[in-house]
Homo-oligomer: A and B are copies of this chain.
């Protein structure tokens, strides 16, 4: 897999995400090849990858179409990530938190604390949070004893809106987002607490609930 080849996959993923190709729309190899300025070969390879990722699905006997996602699908994808990250957290709690891991998690907790300490949110804080949030989640999932859980989550995250760092969107209402991140930070801290004490079931449930933060908490915190 070359870099240019990867770029075809990600560029196509981006186009689909942006709605350039409408859900349900039949998508032809030649059209995409011309659009991206490459030959059919890398496009065909990319179609395979995107089919496995779930963004494309076979259209009848012939070719592919953009898969459409319902509200229920998005909710479900978030729940899937929740149970998988919950599984990772539980396993981690059961196997015991090592000194180094504890320290590493503490780093991201601390960064989160610092970010929120000033009492409000700036535009550029969003990226900072997204970064530390990603590290926090990756640290837990990557320490669960096998790459299998991480792989399953990675595949699930290919679905739009399923990834953990697709929380913050609304940079208009930064005060609302601030409260959301405050809650997320608390949840992170609780998870670490549970992990430290070997409380597997609690860690699992906290992590599950944490997955919903980008989904249902808007109404709750939105006054």
- In Å, the complex CA distance between A149 and B70 comes to 14
- In Å, the complex CA distance between A82 and B155 comes to 17
Chain B residue numbers with a CB within 8 Å of A75 are 146
Interface size grouping (class) on chain A: 35 or more
Residue of B nearest to A151 (CB): B54
In the complex, A83 has a CB within 8 A of chain B: yes
Within 8 Å by CB of A52, from B53, B83, B156, lies B53
Q: Which of A15-23, A43-51, A125-133 contacts B (4 or more CB under 8 A)?
A: A43-51
In the complex, A87 has a CB within 8 A of chain B: yes
Q: Point out residues on A near B: beta carbons under 8 Å.
A: 1, 41, 44-45, 48-49, 51-54, 58, 70, 72-73, 75-77, 79-80, 83-84, 86-87, 91, 144-149, 151-152, 155-156, 159
Given A80-B87, A83-B86, 7 additional A-B pairs, CB 8 A: A45-B48, A76-B91, A79-B91, A80-B149, A152-B155, A152-B156, A155-B155
13 pairs of residues in contact across A and B, judged by CB atoms under 8 Å: A48-B49, A52-B155, A73-B148, A75-B146, A76-B146, A76-B149, A80-B87, A80-B149, A80-B152, A83-B86, A84-B84, A148-B159, A152-B156
